[in-house]
Amino acid sequence: MKDYIDGKPYYGIGEMASIEKRVEFLEELKTKSKEQNVKKKCDDLLKEWANSALMFP
């Protein structure tokens, strides 16, 4: 949003930042969680986001 307000190109940048923050959250949740089902779900989502990250070089 800040890039848009400042008049800087923002297409794609927001998506990359969003994916990066989601991945960081999932990695931290995976390490801190004690429940195996949560860890497995985090692994599954991390794999999906790893594939999505390839779309935004």
The domains of the chain are located at 2-53
**pTM value?**
0.66
Q: Are 46 and 24 in contact (CB under 8 A)?
A: no
> Residue 56's closest CA among 3, 24, 17?
17
For residue 2, give the DSSP letter: H
The pLDDT, as a whole number, for residue 11 is: 66
Q: Are 44 and 14 in contact (CB under 8 A)?
A: no
The pLDDT, as a whole number, for residue 43 is: 95
The per-residue pLDDT for range 1-57, each reduced to its tens digit, is 566 677 776 666 667 777 788 889 999 999 999 999 999 999 999 988 777 655 555
